[in-house]
Amino acid sequence: MITGAAAIVILLVLVAVHLYWAAGGKAGKAGAIPTAEGRPVIKPSAMGTAMVAAALCAIAALVALRIGWLTLPGFPSDNIFVRIAAWLIAAVFALRAIGDFRHVGFFKRVRGCRFARLDTLAYSPLCTALALLIGIAARH
């Protein structure tokens, strides 16, 4: 399924970026962290960033399982738990796109920083796209 494949590719690119940051890479990292009054709202550690990469990889594997690219004994692609997990993941990405009504998402209040501009132009639309792609994959 094309939608699931697109979601997997996007997720694996995000895995690579997070692993790059976890390994100490700096390019793009400053624009990926929300700030308030010029200070980072969060200070992600290398371990935390690697854990995000691992979670994104697990999500990609689940989507691959759902569309039949990956098989595990006892978990066919139409398994109810795989389907529910895919729907939940789609919902999480949709909620991320909506945001926390403060620093992230389409409905954020803090808008004057680099992260806020990138979030509006790229990150939230990307989460919306992932929600739709994974939701479509979950449906079929």
Model confidence over 68-107: pLDDT tens digits? 999 888 777 788 899 999 999 999 999 999 999 888 999 9
Phi/psi class of residue 44: alpha, beta or left (left: φ > 0; alpha: ψ in -120 to 50)?
A: beta
Q: How large is the average pLDDT for residues 127-131? A: 98
Domain edges within the chain: 2-139
Mean pLDDT of the chain: 93
What pLDDT was estimated at residue 38?
81
What pLDDT was estimated at residue 64?
95
Q: Is the pLDDT of residue 121 over 90?
A: yes
Q: Is the pLDDT of residue 6 over 80?
A: yes
Q: What is the pLDDT of residues 56-73, one digit of tens each?
A: 999 999 999 999 999 888
What pLDDT was estimated at residue 7?
97
